[in-house]
Chain A
Amino acid sequence: MNSQYNMLSQEALAKIDREVAKYPADQKQSAVMAALVIAQDEKGWLSQEAIAAVAGYLGMAPIAAYEVASFYNMYDLHPVGKYKLTVCTNLPCALSGGVHAADYVKEKLGIDFDETTPDGKFTLKEGECMGACGDAPVMLVNNKRMCGFMFPEEIDKLLAECK
C-alpha cells in the first residue's frame, strides 16, 4: 500500500473500495462523499491530510474533495466534541420553535454555534433543512441520528442521554 494513504486504515480503505465499486471504473471520484464519511467516521473529523488522502485514493485533485467536504455541514473540518448537535434553523423549523430550541441548547450548554464545551463533550452547529419539517424543530446528533419535536423537555432528555 502506498504510504500516502497510510493515515487511513485497511478497513477504511476496504470500505471505500466497496463504494468505488458502485461506479464505473473511470469515475472513481463519484464515491467521494461516501469516502469522506468513512474517513470522518474513522478519524473523528476531516483534517487536511485526511481529505488529501481520500482525494489521492480516488485519483482526484485535493481541492475537488475539499469543495465537497466544505459544502456539506455534516463534514467536520475541525475537531468536534463527543456529541455534535446540529439544530435546524431554516424557515419551517424556525416557525415551529427551531430558534428557541437552539437558544435553549445554548443556554443549557453555555456555548454558541460552532463552539465546543470545555469538557469536549458537546459541539453545537447550526444546520440547514434536514427534510423533516413536519417533525420541527429538528436536531441531528453526530450527523446520523435524527431527533424530531425537540422542545425543551425532549432536549433535556437528549442531553441527559449523552453521557
Chain B
Amino acid sequence: MIEIEIDGKALQVAEGSTIIEAAHQLGTYIPHFCYHKKLSIAANCRMCLVQVEKAPKPMPACATPVTNGMKVFTHSEQAVKAQKAVMEFLLINHPLDCPICDQGGECQLQDLAVGYGESASKYQEEKRVVPDKDLGPLVSTDLTRCINCTRCVRFTAEIAGFMELGQSFRGERAEIMPFIGKTVDTELSGNIIDLCPVGALTSKPFRFSARTWELSRRKSVSPHDGLGSNLIVQTKHDRVMRVLPLENEDLNECWLTDKERFSYQGLNSAERLTKPMVKQGGVWQEVGWNVALDYAAHALRDVAKTHGGAAIGGLLSPHATLEEMYLVQKLLRGLGSENIDFRLRHSDFSADGKRRGTPWLGMKIADIGGLDRVLVVGSFLRKDHPLIAQRLRQSAKRGAQISILHSADDDLLIKLTVRAIAAPSQLPARLAEVVKAVAELKGRPVDPALATVGAGDTAKQIAASLVSGSKTAILLGNFAQQHPQAATLTALAQELSGLLGGSFGFLGEAANSVGGHAARAVPGTTGLNAAAMLKEARQAYVVLGAEPELDCADGALALAALTQAAAVVVLSPFKSQAMLDYAAVLLPVSPFSETSGSFVNTEGRVQGFHAAVKPLGETRPAWKVLRVLANLLEVAGFQFNSSEDVRAEALGGQPEFVSGLDNGIDGGALTLAASANGLERVADVPIHFADALVRRAPALQQASDSAAPAARMNAATLAKLGLVAGERARVDAGGTAKVTLRRSLMPVCPMAWCVSRQPMPIRSRWVRCSPF
C-alpha cells in the first residue's frame, strides 16, 4: 500500500492503481469518457486530466499510476482549465442534435458539457460528418456523434473475444467501423450501447420510442440462462420499453447478453395470450376466468377419477418461476400424480434416485475466475452461457488453462489449451480416457470398469493440464446434460474431480434449472420423467410456460403425446398454432415482467423479483391462477397470500441460497456403451430459440445467431454421401429432425452439425438442410 493525497484528503491505495481508481475509492468523481473499469486503458479522450504536484503539465488520471506521496488536485484551477479545454475540443465536431438524439438525458457528454462546456463554441468552420454503418438489427449508429473513445472497439476485442470494430483512418478522418460489409455479430453486442458515452451507438429496437426520464425502473432477474443476470426493466404506460443490466459483480458484472437485453420485445408480441380460452366442439372461444378455470378443473378431475391421478402429466418450463413450479407439483401431487418434470430437453434420467442433492454449478459463479484449470465437457459454451464464457475468456488471458471436450468445434473465442472433438456417442469414452490418464499421472487406482480404457494423446494432454493446476473444475454443459448418456458423463466427471481434488458442476441450462429441483418439480419414485410421460402417453397434461413441441428433447414425440391426450391444460403467456391444436384450455399467465416470483440460478442463489408492469389484458400471475385452480379441485394447502408465502413454503424460509446442493451421484455405473457407427447428428439449441419469450423477439430473430438452418459436415463426409456444399440436403435423424426442419418459420434446430466418427469432424464445408 502506498499513501497519496487527493484534494487534500489522505488515503492508502494498492500499488499499481491509477489516480482515477484511487479517486473512486475516495468517492471523488473525475470526469471521463474513454476510461471504463472493465476495459484496458486508452487515455485518448483526455477528459480526466488532473493536476499532479511537481508534474509540469496536467496528467490523465486514468493512465497515471499513483506513487508514494503523490498529491493530486482534481478540481484545481489548472485541472479544471485543462478539462474545459478538452471539452471544447470534444464539442468542436459534435453535432448539436441533442433534441433528436436517443442518448439525450443519459449522455455523459451532455452531462459533462453542462459542467465543463462553454455556452457557445468558438469554432466557426465546417463540422465533420461520418457515414453511419450497419452493425446489424440490434445496434444503431450515428457516427457523426462519435468522440472516438474506442470503448466499443476495446469491448469487442477484450470482453467479447473478437475485434469486430476498429478505428480506421486517421486524425480528423478517424472513424469507428466494422470490417467492410460486416456487422457486429457477438452475442454480447448490446453492451456497446451501454458503453458508448454519447449517442453514436444506440439501441435499434428501442430507438425513438421513449425518453429516459419518462421511464419507470424496476429491478428484475433474467428469465433466460442459468446465470440469473440482474436487470433493470424500464417501463412506460405499463409496457416494457427496454431492459438494461443492473450491475452485480457476482453474476453478470455490468454486462448483459443480447438475449437478455432484447428479449423484452417478445413481451409485446402479437402472439400474447390475453384472454382465457376453451375449446368446445373443436372451436376455440374466449371466456371469462371462472369459466376457463371450471373447465380446466373439470377436465383434470374427470381424468383423475376415471383413469387415476397417474394419468395426468406435468410438463414445466425450466424458465418458470420457483413458485409456479412448486404450485404445479403440489397441485398434481394433490391429484395423485407423480409425473412432474421440468427437464424437458434431457434424454437420460438414469441418475434419478441416485443423486445426493440438487445438481448445480458446484461453486459460486464469482469463483470461476479463481480456477486455474478447467475442463468443459459437452457445451456450446459461448451461445449457451455467454457471460460464463466471458469469465473463462478473461481467466485464460490471466494464464488459466481451459480445455474442452465436445462434439462441435465452434469457435469459443477463448484461448484453449486442448480442444478434443468427438462424435456424441464417443464423448463418455473420451472422458473416460481423461479419467484414466489422470489416474495414471496421479498414481491412483482407477475404477475397475475403466480398466480396459487406453488413454490417447489428446486425453493425456488434457490430463497433464489438469493435474498441473491447484484449483480445477470439470463443467458439464447443456449438451452433456442432454446427452443420451448424461448419467455416465456425470459419474465420470465425479470420478475425475475426485482424482483431481477439484470440483465438478453443471452449467445451468435455464433460469430455474436449480430452482426446479428445489421446488420438487421432478417425478417421485413412482412417477414418470419428462421423456417417459411422452413415451407412455398420458390422458391429460398440465403444461406450464413450455411449448413442448419445441422445448422437449423429442419434439415430434411431445406433439404426438399431447395431440392424443383427452385434456391438455396450458398455462402460458403465449399461444401458438400447435397449442391451439392440442390444448383443451388456454390460461393466460404472466411472463416474468408481470408477476412476482423468484429464480434460483446455477450457483443456487435465490433471486426474488416483483412485477415490473401490470399483467397484459386478462393475463394473471400463474401462482394466483394455480391457487384458484387448486381450490376448485379441492386440493388442500393452497392458502397463499403472496408469492413470498409460496417461496417460504417451498424453501422453508427465505434463504439467500437453496439448501441441498450436491452434484454427487451414488452407484452411478461407469459403463461405456458400445460405440455407434455411421453419421451422427449434433444439434444445438440455438441461443435465440431456447425459450418461448426469446423466440418471439423480432430483432433477435434477425440477428446472425438466428440464421437459417444449415448442416455442416466435413469434406470427406460430403463426398461419401454424394452431397455438394451449398446445395440443399435433407437431414433425417429419426422423427425429431423431420419436425424440426418442417417448422421452417421457427425451427428449434436451425443448425445441425453432422459429425461422422471417422475421420474427425472439421467444419470446412456447409450444406443447407431443406425444409420438407
Contacts and interface: CB of A to CB of B under 8 A. Distances in A.
A64 B164 CA distance: 9
Contacts of A63: 163-166, 168, 177-179, 182
A71 B169 contact: yes
B: contact size bracket: 10 to 19
B162 interface: yes
A61 B167 contact: no
B168 A67 contact: yes
Contacts of A45: none
B726 to A, nearest CB: 14
B96 interface: no
Interface-central residue, B164, B167, B180, by most chain A CB under 10 Å: B180
Nearest to B176: A63
Contacts of A38: none
A68 to B, nearest CB: 9
A67 B166 contact: yes
Given A61-B163, A63-B163, A48 B168 contact: no
Contacts of B180: 48, 66
- Is chain A's interface secondary structure helix, strand, loop, or mixed overall? helix
Contacts of A66: 166, 168, 179-180
Nearest to A62: B179
A52 interface: yes
A9 interface: no
B165 to A, nearest CB: 7
Contact of B170 (A48, A61, A71): A71
A27 B744 CA distance: 45
A70 interface: yes
Given A61-B157, A64-B163, A70 B179 contact: no
B448 interface: no
Interface residues of A, number: 11
B7 to A, nearest CB: 39
A70 B340 CA distance: 61
A70 B182 CA distance: 17
Contacts of B168: 63, 66-67, 70-71
A70 B119 CA distance: 36
A15 to B, nearest CB: 24
A149 to B, nearest CB: 28
Given A48-B181, A61-B179, A63-B178, A70 B169 contact: yes
A67 B178 CA distance: 10
- Is chain B's interface secondary structure helix, strand, loop, or mixed overall? loop
A147 B165 CA distance: 38
A61 B169 contact: no
A65 to B, nearest CB: 9
Interface string A48-84: 1000100000001111101100110000000000000
A48 B180 CA distance: 7
Interface in B120-179: 157, 162-170, 177-179
A67 B167 CA distance: 6
Contacts of B167: 67
Nearest to A71: B170
Contacts of B170: 70-71
A43 to B, nearest CB: 16
Contacts of A70: 168-170
Contacts of A61: 157, 162-164, 166, 179
A48 B168 CA distance: 13
Contacts of B166: 61, 63-64, 66-67
B179 A52 contact: yes
Interface string A1-22: 0000000000000000000000
Interface string B719-732: 00000000000000
Interface in A118-155: none
Nearest to B166: A63
B723 to A, nearest CB: 19
Contacts of B157: 61
Nearest to B177: A63
Interface-central residue, A48, A52, A63, A67, by most chain B CB under 10 Å: A63
A64 B157 CA distance: 10
A60 B164 CA distance: 11
Contacts of B169: 70-71
Contacts of B178: 63
Contacts of B162: 61
Contacts of A71: 168-170
Contacts of A52: 179
A60 B157 CA distance: 11
B49 to A, nearest CB: 26
A48 B179 CA distance: 9
Interface in B37-79: none
Nearest to B180: A48
Nearest to A73: B170
B419 to A, nearest CB: 16
Interface-central residue, B157, B166, B169, B178, by most chain A CB under 10 Å: B166
Contacts of A67: 166-168
Nearest to A69: B168
A70 B170 CA distance: 8
Contacts of A62: 179, 182
Contacts of A48: 179-181
Interface-central residue, B157, B163, B165, by most chain A CB under 10 Å: B163
Nearest to B181: A48
B387 to A, nearest CB: 22
A1 to B, nearest CB: 14
A61 B166 CA distance: 9
A62 B180 CA distance: 9
A61 B161 CA distance: 10
Contacts of B165: 63
A66 B164 CA distance: 11
A57 B177 CA distance: 22
A64 B177 CA distance: 11
A71 B163 CA distance: 17
Nearest to B168: A70
A62 B162 CA distance: 10
Interface in B434-488: none
A60 B170 CA distance: 20
A71 B169 CA distance: 5
A48 B166 CA distance: 15
Nearest to B157: A61
A64 B179 CA distance: 9
Contacts of B177: 63
B697 to A, nearest CB: 28
A70 B157 CA distance: 19
B530 to A, nearest CB: 43
A128 to B, nearest CB: 9
Nearest to B165: A63
B146 to A, nearest CB: 15
A85 to B, nearest CB: 20
Nearest to A47: B180
Nearest to A55: B179
A42 to B, nearest CB: 20
A66 B180 CA distance: 9
A68 B761 CA distance: 36
Given A66-B166, A66-B179, 12 more contacts: A52-B179, A61-B162, A61-B164, A62-B179, A63-B177, A64-B163, A64-B166, A66-B180, A67-B166, A70-B168, A70-B170, A71-B169
Q: Considering the complex of A and B, which 5 residue pairs feature the smallest CB-CB distances, nearest first?
A: A63-B166, A61-B163, A70-B168, A62-B179, A63-B179
7 contacts: A60-B163, A61-B164, A63-B164, A64-B163, A67-B167, A67-B168, A70-B168
Interface of B: 157, 162-170, 177-182
